[in-house]
Amino acid sequence: MRTWLEVNTKNLRYNIGKIYEKIGDRKIIGIVKANSYGLGSIEITKELIKCGIDFFAVATLSEGIELRKAGIKEKILILGGVFDDELKEVAQYDLHIALSRFDQLVYIHKNKLQVKCHLALETGMGRIGFNFEDVEKVKKYVKENNLTNIIGVYTHLSVADEESEENRIYTEKQIEKFNNFNGIDTIEYRHILNSGGILSYSDKDNGNYVRVGIVMYGICGERWIDDFKPVISFKSKILFIKTLIEDMDISYGRACHLKKGEVIGTIAAGYADGFKRGALNKMTVKIQGRDCTVVGKVCMDMLMVKIPEDMVEKIKIGEEVILYGDDLVEKAKEIGTSTYEIITGINPRVKRVYIEE
């Protein structure tokens, strides 16, 4: 293997156990959108099923179909909204949708489509979802037409993972609005808490499900969670080692100048694998537990690091390199991005490997 993403399934199950401790008698919707945050949608879903989870959420129709085709029989909700011309397939694959348009509800009814809906409420995310005034129209329509396909209601918290007094007040308002929703008798599923919500607000809402995303990987709000375990390591290998025979500029743009005698290692991963181009000559990768500085610009398929003098004798071709591991959160911060963006940006050519230790 050249470059791979290691997923520690044992730690994943451990973290799910921790989440169960926090949520009382609520149940879990496993969020497996975007290829399960880049970790592999089918494998992660199967792992979560082992933990007793029987409800999943994806972002798009095609992600839902992918799970069905892999034999996943559990409930699947599409959170990202769907277009009307996708509804036939939604019904065919028995997927649930997030509903946030009245005309879509009418469309579903008029076309006699068997589509189960979770009513999305706008409470402060500013993305999709019904305003509370429009919900009244939905309730009326549901009653008049005896609709039974609105089976869930949910909303999304925008700052549950950011600790400040102001954000706490904002989040509590969102939760209060959600808690006050009622009036559709066929609703079985009420869910509001995301990762940040589960950790900080699980005594506040009246939902019976929670939506578990990045918290299952031991991360929330760009922090490691105490008592949880890291799940993700993005790894590669040393492909080539050279001692500079003269002073030399490294990589595109000649943005790094090194001296004769210095040793560089070329690593078999680049930005096309998902290693981010961060601040020049400031990023590091781990080799034999040591942080080694990435020198020059990261290339598409390779990157170069400076090998510290005392390590030169000890390293060899094929040596394992950790690009992002238990420093993922810190690195995301350094680069000025989020852990979500890094892990979902790890590309398909990177093999996903599932380990138990």
Ligand X SMILES: *Cc1c(COP(=O)(O)O)cnc(C)c1O
**What six digits make up the tokens of 350?**
């990177």
Contact between 213 and ligand X per CB under 6 A = yes
Query: If binding means CB under 6 A, how many residues of this protein chain bind ligand X?
Result: 10
Q: What is the 3-state secondary structure (H, E, C) of 272-312?
A: CCCCCCCCCCCCEEEECCEEEEEECCCCCCCEEEEECHHHC
Q: Which is nearer to ligand X, 11 or 194 (CB)?
A: 194
Contact between 211 and ligand X per CB under 6 A = yes
Taking the complex as a whole, how short is the minimal distance between the CB of residue 242 and ligand X, in angstroms? 42
Taking the complex as a whole, how short is the minimal distance between the CB of residue 31 and ligand X, in angstroms? 4
Query: Can you tell me the distance from the alpha carbon of 53 to that of 27, in angstroms, rounded to the nearest whole number?
Result: 8
Contact between 119 and ligand X per CB under 6 A = no
Contact between 210 and ligand X per CB under 6 A = no
Contact between 79 and ligand X per CB under 6 A = yes
Query: Can you tell me the distance from the alpha carbon of 281 to that of 293, in angstroms, rounded to the nearest whole number?
Result: 7
Contact between 104 and ligand X per CB under 6 A = no
User: Strand 232-243 relative to strand 320-324: parallel, antiparallel, unpaired?
Assistant: antiparallel
Query: Can you tell me the distance from the alpha carbon of 213 to that of 194, in angstroms, rounded to the nearest whole number?
Result: 7
Catalytic residue among 88, 252, 314, 333: 252
Cα 35 to Cα 117, 282, 285, 343, 353, distances in angstroms: 23, 30, 25, 10, 14
Ranked by CB distance to ligand X, the top (closest) residue is 213
Contact between 194 and ligand X per CB under 6 A = yes
Q: Which is nearer to ligand X, 209 or 275 (CB)?
A: 209
Q: Is position 252 annotated as part of the catalytic site?
A: yes
Q: Is position 351 annotated as part of the catalytic site?
A: no
Residue 206 and residue 190 in contact, taking contact as beta carbons nearer than 8 Å: yes
Between residue 13 and residue 72, which ones bind ligand X under the rule CB under 6 A?
A: 31, 33
Nearest to 152 by CA among 178, 126, 175: 178
Q: Which is nearer to ligand X, 4 or 170 (CB)?
A: 170
Question: Which residues are at the interface with ligand X (CB under 6 A)?
Answer: 31, 33, 79, 156, 194-195, 211, 213-215
